[in-house]
Structure 1
Amino acid sequence: MSRNPESYNKGIEVLNDMVGEPGLKAIGAFEKFYPDFADFLVSFGFGEIYSREALDYKQRELITLTALITQGAFEQMPFHLNAALNVGLTPKEIVELVIHSAAYVGFPKACSAMTQVMTVFEQRGIKDI
């Protein structure tokens, strides 16, 4: 795959805005293992999808977290929970998202998601919801 410099640079900018150094470090691990995957993830995921103008980062993270819960992709949640908090979602909004999801995806997935939320909140020192 050839890197689209414009999309890649925009993707790095978006990634840095949303999660900063931890996000760049995560991409670095993919880049070290298989650079084409990292290029695709940055160029497409962040450079072309997250950078679109119709939705803001908060709305996109609500959608992303919902999709992750629905899929049971809990290992991806810490990255996006941190991003969600960084772009302005409140802890209460995140907890309510998980509660609301329980009605549609079931309590087992909601419990797994809430465990991820609790871990990230603990790591960030978030106590008041």
Structure 2
Amino acid sequence: MIAKDGKFRVSLYKALLFVAVADAIKSGSLNLIYSNKYRSLDEYLILKADWEANRDEYLRRAQLENFSSCEVTLKTLDQSLDVGYERLNENFQSGENPYLTVRPNGRLHVSTPKQEEVECLSLGTFFS
């Protein structure tokens, strides 16, 4: 940190500063106002007034009309999750689930089969 002549090594402090800034940007604790990639999460959101004025249009463009009611969506997901857990438990008890096993120590282990890669549209296609 200090050179032999007793002066601070400025280059070391600059390097440490750059490392700290890079880590902060990557973690999201430091945001850059004029960046398209490292803005705060709030900057990516639709303004509340715009959302309230154009909600139906935004949902239509994102093909999310079926999710317009939070209560209905949550109830549907809750029912679907219950059915899924019942089926999972039935398959486990009957031995038909090859991906769920009990280890000798009594803990459950889930092995996930490799999925094929799926091409997805970029988010930019949904937003003008």
- TM-score normalised by structure 2 residue count: 0.22
Higher RCO structure, 1 or 2 (CA under 8 Å, sep 6+): 1
More helix by share: 1
More strand by share: 2
Pair member with larger Rg: 2
- TM-score normalised by structure 1 residue count: 0.22
